[in-house]
Amino acid sequence: MSRIKLLSPRLANQIAAGEVVERPASVIKELVENSLDAGASRIDVDVESGGVKLMRVRDNGGGIAQEDMPLALSRHATSKIYELDDLEKVVSMGFRGEALASISSVSRLCILSNTQEQGAGWKAETEGRDMQVEVGPAPHPKGSTVEVRDLFFNTPARRKFLRTEKTEFNHLEEVIKRQALGRFDVGFHLRHNGKVIHALKNCDSQLEQERRVASVCGPAFMQNALHIDTEAMGLRLWGWVALPTFSRSQADLQHFYVNGRVIRDKLVTHAVRQAYRDVLFHGRHPAFVLYLECDPAIVDVNVHPTKHEVRFRDGRTVHDFLFRSLHRLLADVRPDAQHMPTG
């Protein structure tokens, strides 16, 4: 008969990593979210070989205090919520305190950081070990740099599932694009193998926002987009939706954010589809970049570890608000629906 034993911290983290760290893109998502949570206004992402060899995320956010460095890498350690009540109104991207622990258990990870108060930099390194963290002095400007090397070096079974460098990079770039659309107030820079792929400056005006959307979604989208900004019942919907004539053969240009968080949600998809129903050809998909802002208390973000899903307390109201707002906007351009579809 087999005896029961506690998992070692390393194995527990590696198992948890299975949920959060699927590929380089998922690492980038977590690291950039941490930079956003740290209040960064500029994030630089450098990757080599599709991220498999190296991913480096550098920010100018608040940094991590020297004594917190080992904690940052521990499982269930977070500076973002302290009690259950906080979960009700969580506005940060992170809160589970799992990402760094998971990532460090399946890679060689190094954090450099400097808080303004401490005025000196610190460095912590791990190598998929039993969470032993070495902390030592190292120069770094205010903010943090997290370097992840050799993803899955110690988990060959997972490494086998990685695709080509190009495919992995495409996924990773998609993450950056989605995040860049979610935070116009932050500058994003992405380099792959030393080559600049995106250099997106902070946007201060609607014009600059539209430039960023054009650069991320393609100029054709922006040329065919209607701007929306409407409010009701404590909900605000704003962003850009493509004219029905700019429909797509795939649902590949659909970005929806709730309080800055990228989400995929059936209720939202349904509301948008309904609004386009009479103006879109059968089998075509609408294109949109939309932002819903609401009281954080009416959405539950703690549904899934990747936090891509949310649950609305009152789904009906949100659905109707989305549908009505978009339907009204599209009703005004109905005659255009006669044209042939493109895209």
CA distance 269 to 259: 17
CA dist., res. 51 & res. 181, Å (int): 21
For ligand ADP, which residue of 79, 154, 306, 342 counts as binding (CB under 6 A)?
A: 79
Stretch that binds ligand ADP, among 4-12, 62-70, 119-127, 151-159 (CB under 6 A): 62-70
Among 7-15, 77-85, 194-202, 286-294, the segment contacting ligand ADP (CB under 6 A)? 77-85
Q: Could you say whether residue 99 binds Mg ion (CB under 5 A)?
A: yes
Residues in region 125-164 near ligand ADP by CB under 6 A: 144
16 within 8 A of 8, measured Cβ to Cβ: no
Cα 226 to Cα 256: distance, rounded to the nearest angstrom = 15
**Near ligand ADP by CB under 6 A, which window of 2-10, 47-55, 91-99, 244-252?**
91-99
Which of the choices ligand ADP, Mg ion, none does residue 235 contact, using the CB cut-off of 5 to 8 A by kind? none
Tell me how far, at minimum, the Cβ of 80 lies from Mg ion, in Å.
8
- DSSP secondary structure letters along 165-205: HHHHHHHHHHHHHHHHHH-TTSEEEEEETTEEEEEE----S
3-state secondary structure 242-255: ECHHHCECCCCCEE
DSSP 282: T
**275 residue type, one letter:** A
Report in angstroms how near the CB of residue 38 gets to ligand ADP at its nearest.
3
* Torsion over CA: 233, 235, 240, 243 (sign): negative
> Site for ligand ADP (CB under 6 A): which residue of 24, 61, 182, 343?
61
- Restricting to residues 94-123, which ones interact with ligand ADP according to CB under 6 A? 94-101
Where along the sequence are the contacts to ligand ADP (CB under 6 A)? Answer: 30, 34-35, 38, 59, 61-64, 72, 78-80, 94-101, 144
